[in-house]
């Protein structure tokens, strides 16, 4: 039996600059570059949680709410929100920092799913997650809905089996 872990044990924070080669013609960070940065931070968090090789199984939700200008200091924070059998949902929050007062503003967020695999690339079990804070508990509960939605959209689960999703739509 693997010992459960908390989100803080695998939390991953990456801070970096936006350089000219990483921008679009409007001098803002290129979306694909941000996806790659989030993928890296997320995979490190999943790897710290599972202590296994992990692969990206799906990118479930990405919201590019604010553009990130050239020269910005970008902080990407990745937290495991829930661990299932072999898969882990990772929530990624992206912040930019005001140069003068250091105040941080949330720019983007995304939700990735990583799967731990063995030497043959086959899914392998991971420790469970024990959320601690209110936000971690909220994200933990919602993760099961998101997993079912992702599996339904990927054609890997029948809508009739998605109990958590049905519960939302059946609410009064």
Query: Which stretches of the chain bind ligand COA, using CB under 6 A?
Result: 55-58, 84-87, 113, 115, 117, 121, 123, 147, 150-151, 154, 156
The nearer residue to ligand COA, 55 or 141, going by C-beta atoms, is: 55
CB of 109 to ligand COA, least distance (A): 17
CB of 147 to ligand COA, least distance (A): 6
d(CA 88, CA 80): 7
> Comparing C-alpha atoms, which of 46, 118, 39, 106 is closest to residue 81?
46
CB of 39 to ligand COA, least distance (A): 8
The nearer residue to ligand COA, 19 or 154, going by C-beta atoms, is: 154
The nearer residue to ligand COA, 66 or 85, going by C-beta atoms, is: 85
H-helix or E-strand containing 59?
strand 53-64
CB of 2 to ligand COA, least distance (A): 13
Could you tell me how far CA 168 lies from the centroid of its own chain?
22
CB of 170 to ligand COA, least distance (A): 23
The nearer residue to ligand COA, 68 or 146, going by C-beta atoms, is: 146
The nearer residue to ligand COA, 83 or 107, going by C-beta atoms, is: 83
H-helix or E-strand containing 37?
helix 31-50
d(CA 79, CA 151): 21
CB 23 within 8 A of CB 30: yes
d(CA 54, CA 87): 9
> Comparing C-alpha atoms, which of 63, 38, 172 is closest to residue 114?
38
What residue is closest to ligand COA based on CB? 84
């Amino acid at each position: 039996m693997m010992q459960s872990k908390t989100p803080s044990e695998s939390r991953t924070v990456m801070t970096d600059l936006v350089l000219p080669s990483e921008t679009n013609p409007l001098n803002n960070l290129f979306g694909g570059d941000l996806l790659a940065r989030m993928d890296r931070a997320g995979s490190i968090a999943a790897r710290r949680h599972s202590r296994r090789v992990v692969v990206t199984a799906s990118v479930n939700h990405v919201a590019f709410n604010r553009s990130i200008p050239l020269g910005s200091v970008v902080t990407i924070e990745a937290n495991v929100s829930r661990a299932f059998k072999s898969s882990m949902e990772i929530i990624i929050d992206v912040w930019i920092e005001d140069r003068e007062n250091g105040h941080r503003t949330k720019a983007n967020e995304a939700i990735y799913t990583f799967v731990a695999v063995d030497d043959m690339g086959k899914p392998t079990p991971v420790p469970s997650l024990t959320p601690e804070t209110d936000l971690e508990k909220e994200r933990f509960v919602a993760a099961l809905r998101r997993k079912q939605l992702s599996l339904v959209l990927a054609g890997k689960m029948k809508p009739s089996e998605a109990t958590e999703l049905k519960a939302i739509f059946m609410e009064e």
